[in-house]
Structure 1
């Protein structure tokens, strides 16, 4: 049984799957200690960590670098990694890109859009695959809800079934109506992971910066479980104030040379002055 099959067993038992993003080793370690089931190293690293204007700017090297960091921080957790923009246009490209992410430490590769031929090629080569339908940040300049009309919902439903038949293990559903997410979840064997898709998916994923309050923008699909950004600003402000006032560092934050070593050093200074 593969690691992915353990999550499919959760789906069959009706147990929810907890997924969250991470981009570095310390965060990954904390998430593993907190008991999350899976870490997604998403292309959201671009706008949340690297300062890019769009997910489209993220490179394969960026993804490999951050996946490796997450793997070092959480060596035993299931790690899913995004294939970045323009690295999976053909099955051949997808295979080469997926090998890079697997070498970095990914257990599963995820990509956006309806490409069952790519799913089939990756699956045949032994990769766990996660699809991604609904909002596709790499391909859509304006981030808005998807599948709102009957025709759009039918297209997403058919795309989900096609990718499922091709062998995907997981499917992220982003910003799609709850009714559609529920229908897809019940219709496919792969485990659905929702973000802004309601409670009927098999699991949920949020961006760690959003749920922890590192980012300040409010999203309808997000719940802020902490205020890390505010706490960090307060800590840095206090530090800056104490450095400027001379309150930090205090005597307890440093150390002295042994008397004989200090005397020897002072003598050396006199001789070399």
Structure 2
């Protein structure tokens, strides 16, 4: 069974798919060992790890660099790679970008918006595609709830069905009503992965930095499972205090010469 076929089977069986972002080898290793089904190297790496102001600054080189790191950390994992802003403006451009992401170690590529022409081109090249509807962080400056009106909801469902027909392997639904996500999930064959899309999708995805509480910022769709940001600051403060008070390094951290070598060394000092 291929990696993507497994997720269609999980949908058929009603087994939820757990997805988390990963940007480096240690995180990827931990997530894989924890049983995460899919690791997403998302353009969220830009603001969470690279200090960029928005997703639009992330480059294809950035994504490929982090995909390689995640692949080294989780050699057997299923990995989705985001195609960054302006790297899939045409089907040919999307194909060239996707091939670089696959070469770096991704199994599936993801892009935003209703672009059936791109799906067709990538599928024809035997590249698995994850589409992304609802809030599109690369293209929507207003990060608001999508699909709230009946008209918006109907278009979202229609777009999902059309993308499904041309062969997408997966669909991320972001910040849409639970009722709309449920309708989409029932209407298409491909597994749906929700983020802020309620409980009726075939799986869920969150950003690992949000899950770990790297910053004080929090979101309604997120659940913080740890407070790593606070722990990192506390550890750094304790380290600084120990260095300044000369408590660190302690005897247990020190390496010594053998007595005879030390005696020879001291006797040879000018």
TM range (shorter): over 0.9
Deviation at 1:215, TM superposition (A): 2.3
1:43 aligns to what? 43
Partner of 1:112: 112
Query: Aligned equivalents of 1:51 and 1:268: distance in 2?
Result: 52
Query: Normalized against structure 1, the TM-score is what?
Result: 0.97
Q: Aligned partners of 2:186, 2:199: CA distance in 1, in Å?
A: 13
Alignment correspondent of 2:7: 7
Q: Distance in 1 between matches of 2:269 and 2:43?
A: 55
Q: Which residue of 2 aligns with 1:233?
A: 233
The CA deviation at 1:218 is 1.6
How big is the shift at 1:75? 0.7
Superposed counterparts of 1:106-185, under 5 Å: 106-185=106-185
Equivalent-residue separation in structure 1 for 2:115 and 2:122 (angstroms): 11
Deviation by residue 1:163-186 (Cα, 9 ceiling, x = unmatched): 111100100000011110000000
Partner of 2:28: 28
Distance in 1 (alpha carbons) for counterparts of 2:264 and 2:256: 14
Report how far residue 235 of structure 1 moved.
1.0
Tell me the SS of whatever aligns to 1:147. coil
Q: Give the match's secondary structure for 2:75.
A: coil
Query: Aligned Cα RMSD in Å?
Result: 1.0
| Gaps in structure 1 of 5+ consecutive residues | none
Aligned-residue offset at 1:262 = 2.6
Partner SS, residue 112 of structure 2: coil
Q: Which residue of 2 aligns with 1:102?
A: 102
Q: What SS class does the counterpart of residue 111 from structure 1 fall into?
A: strand
Distance 2:229 2:255 in 1: 33
* 1:91 Cα offset (Å): 0.8
Structure 2 runs not aligned, ≥5 long: none
Q: Distance between the aligned counterparts of 2:236 and 2:56, measured in 1?
A: 32
Matched residue, 2:17:
17
Q: CA deviation at 1:29?
A: 0.6
Q: Which runs of 4+ in 1 moved over 2 A?
A: 259-269
2:237 counterpart SS class:
helix
CA deviations 1:135-177 (Å, max 9, x no partner) are 1000011211101111111111111111111100100000011
Give the CA deviation at 1:197. Answer: 0.2
Q: Aligned partners of 1:54, 1:264: CA distance in 2, in Å? A: 60
TM-score, L = length of structure 2: 0.98
Distance 2:77 2:125 in 1: 22
Q: Structure 2: how far apart are the matches of 1:269 and 1:140?
A: 69
Aligned to 1:252: 252
CA deviation after TM superposition for structure 1 residue 268, in Å: 4.7
Task: State the Cα distance separating 1:263 from its structure 2 match.
Answer: 3.4
Q: Residues of 1 paired with 2:228 and 2:84: CA distance? A: 28
What is the SS of the residue equivalent to 1:193?
strand
Equivalent residue of 1:144, what SS?
coil
1:62 offset after TM fit, Å? Answer: 0.1
Mean Cα deviation higher: 1-10 or 57-66? 1-10
